[in-house]
Structure 1
Amino acid sequence: MRPLTLSFYFQVFVCAALWGSAFPVIKLSYEALAIEGFGERMLFAGLRFTLAGLLIVPFCRSSVLETARQAPRGLLVWVILGQTVFQYVFFYYALSVSSGTLGALLAGGGSFWWMLLAPFLLKTSAPNAKQWGLIVLCSVGIGVAVYAPGAGSGQVAIGAASFLLASLSGAFGAIGLKKLSAFHGSRAITSISLFVGGLVLALLGLGGWQGFWQDLGLGAVWVLLYLAFLSATAFTLWNRLIEQYSVNVLSAYRFLIPLCGVLESALFVPGESVGIGIVLGGALILGSLYGMSRIENARG
């Protein structure tokens, strides 16, 4: 395994801080921009990711069009659907019915989806006894967090299920990218995934265009620009790390994403409070993710 350098830790922290900020920003945007219904949510997401895909193009080392022509169609569709389309259909819906704090915490579930899926799809080593114990501990933590998440959490069960499905979709997309990046540059693939996935999301939301357009002011434009920058930067860095390091190692460090997201949501989203479930469940989830990172480092 490649040694984990200072640059690795810096890039992981930048990704965590950026993705963590998405939870409160999107949650606040629903109210500030009067985004309602499936159509408007998908248009909002679609414009964000289409723009993010375009922002990455100047930084690609290989031609995006050439990569789109040469890449295996099945794997490319796999990445687009998993990492952008299905992940964010579930994610944006979950944020509309529950809290950013709960969503940030459950984002850590993606690490354990990776642990379970990678041995079958990437032929990596299966979880050992200690890792299975941590997976069980994380599951208990999710149950505790969902049981008493705190005020402002909305429809907790539906939101939790949607957040977990979003992280499952993202895990499938990341594994597909790991396969594809062996033959093509991760930046070009990321650009294609975000751009095409964004167009698909926008098409799914065409029914909400009239309402979305009426509320599209300067504030909405700035929010879209920030979220596009966030996606372009975080996905480019993270997918580059996926290309260089094992999925298991990276999944272990995803515990920083829910940590940043919980803190940023609790600080910036009015009306959301951290209940005893988030505190206790979060401690179990983050503890299990940290334990997993120690095991992966020891393996390295």
Structure 2
Amino acid sequence: MQKFLQMKWSVILIAVFCSLLWGSAFPLLKVSYEEFQIAADDIAAKIVFAGLRFLLAGMIVLTFLLISNLKHLYITKKQLGILAILGLVQTALQYFFFYNGLAHVTGMQGAILNSSGTFLTVLLAHYFYVNDKMSTRKALGLLAGFLGIIAANWGQDFTFQFTFMGEGFMILSGLTSAFATILAKELAKGIHPFAITGWQFCLGALFLLIIGLPQLDENAMIFTPFGWGLFIYSALLSAVAFALWYSLLKYNPAGEISMYKFIVPVSGSILSTIFIPGENLTPAVLIALALVAMGIIIVNTGKKEVNRDGQG
């Protein structure tokens, strides 16, 4: 499995697939808020909704691990503490900002602002890992990806007005995502990637539910058959994307893998034009796709890096 997760073609396919899943989250959550009739200013309802989603996602991953490889399900007390920290940062804190920030911006704005986590991860990796340094090639790839992100939203009804509850929360979500990426690679050595995903989801979800449930008003969320479908898909996309992503992160440099997250805002923008009224597809999105693809090619045609564990 390790060799497979380090092969160039498999890394590309898995990373792109994960990024497409994450991109679908932006229109999915915007549509979910409307379907569940969650008010934009109802923080408690969004916290509980996030908590329920990630509790289900964690249970899906842990159940898969229980069936496929029981020995990796068990963790030590020390590992439990590490996973609790990851759950607090990666799930509870990041998605507190994400869910509440997304309610106050468009799907495209959310996709752009949340991509700040990609840039911060590459920059943090430069300082944390001797073999994951910034290079001219990476810088050019970052530039191409950044231009792609701009192009994906050029000409849309996108303004740079800043509100702390909207744009501010989305940037904070990206910041916590970057820290979580470094923490996962630095602290979670020796823990199976699926165990990391499942346990940190469940622990992070408990943090969210403990905070949100006491403040939840009656009828704050209205469950419908379509809403249940959206909810289950949101849990599945998180379970699959994060489990696969942590598997890649375990055997590949953090900065190089995170480059593929440039696909997230582009796919998020395209899907938002399809599913969210008023967010229209433009030729700029096609240009963005070309720029993002170029950025990925630039980053991945250089000399192959060696990861921190000394493996190619």
TM-score normalised by structure 2 residue count: 0.80
The Cα of 1:43 is off from its aligned counterpart by 0.6
1:255-281 per-position Cα deviation (integer Å, ceiling 9, x unaligned): 1212211110111101224689xx49x
Higher helix share: 1
User: Contact (CA 8 Å) 2:137, 2:298: kept in 1 or not?
Assistant: no
Alpha-carbon distance between aligned partners in 2 of 1:226 and 1:255, rounded to the nearest angstrom: 22
8 A contact 1:105–1:258 mirrored in 2: yes
Q: Secondary structure at the match of 1:298?
A: coil
Q: Cα distance 1:20–1:205, how it changes in 2: closer, same or farther (>3 A)?
A: same
Structure 2 vs 1, CA of residues 5 and 136 (structure 1 numbering), >3 Å: closer, same or farther?
closer
Displacement after TM superposition at 1:40 (Å): 0.4
Q: Choose which of 33, 36, 50 in structure 1 pairs with 2:55.
A: 50
| Structure 2 match to 1:66 | 74
- SS of 2:278's partner is coil
Partner of 1:192: 199
Cα distance change, pair 161–129 in 1 and its aligned pair in 2 (3 A):
farther
**1:119-198 alignment runs, 5 A limit:** 119-129=126-136, 131-132=138-139, 150-151=156-157, 156-158=161-163, 159-198=166-205
Structure 2 letter corresponding to 1:198:
A
Shift of 1:183: 1.4
Give the alignment's Cα RMSD to 1 decimal: 3.2
In structure 1, C-alpha distance between the alignment counterparts of 2:205 and 2:290, rounded to whole Å: 31
The alpha-carbon distance between structure 1 residues 259 and 41, as it changes in their structure 2 partners (threshold 3 A), is: same
Report deviation, 1:32: 1.7
TM-score (norm 1): 0.83
Q: 2:13 aligns with which of 6, 10, 19?
A: 10
Mapped partners of 1:63, 1:19: distance in 2: 29
CA contact (8 A) 1:38 1:208 kept: no
Letter in 2 for 1:13: V
Q: Which letter maps to 1:52?
A: A
62 and 171 in structure 1: CA distance in 2 versus 1, 3 angstrom threshold: farther
Which residue does 1:35 correspond to in 2? 38
Per-residue Cα deviation, 1:112-142 (whole angstroms, up to 9, x for no partner): 1111111333444432355456657777887
Question: 1:294 is matched with which residue?
Answer: 298
Aligned counterpart, 2:222: 215
Which runs of 5 or more residues in structure 1 are unaligned? Answer: none
Tell me if the contact between 1:109 and 1:164 (Cα under 8 Å) persists in the aligned partners: yes
Counterpart for residue 102 of structure 2: 95
Could you say which residue in structure 1 is the equivalent of 2:310? none
- Label 1:20 to 1:139 Cα distance change in 2 as closer, same or farther (>3 A): closer
Q: What residue in structure 1 maps to residue 307 of structure 2?
A: none
Letter in 2 for 1:110: G
Measured in 1, the distance between the counterparts of 2:239 and 2:147 equals 34
Q: 1:204 to 1:121 in 2, by over 3 A?
A: farther
Cα 1:191–1:224 shift into 2, 3 Å: same
* Residue 25 (structure 2) aligns with: 22
SS in structure 1 of the partner of residue 21 of structure 2: helix
Distance 1:47 1:156, change over 3 A: farther
Q: CA 1:290/1:86 → structure 2, altered by over 3 Å: closer, same or farther?
A: farther
- Is residue 269 of structure 1 aligned with residue 276 of structure 2? yes
Q: CA deviation at 1:110?
A: 2.1
Distance 1:214 1:17, change over 3 A: closer
The 3 A distance-change label for structure 1 pair 28 and 10 is same
**How far apart, in 1, do the equivalents of 2:123 and 2:206 lie?**
30
Contact 1:115–1:248 (Cα < 8 Å) also in 2: yes
CA–CA separation in structure 1 for the residues paired with 2:160 and 2:209: 26
Paired letter, 1:31: E
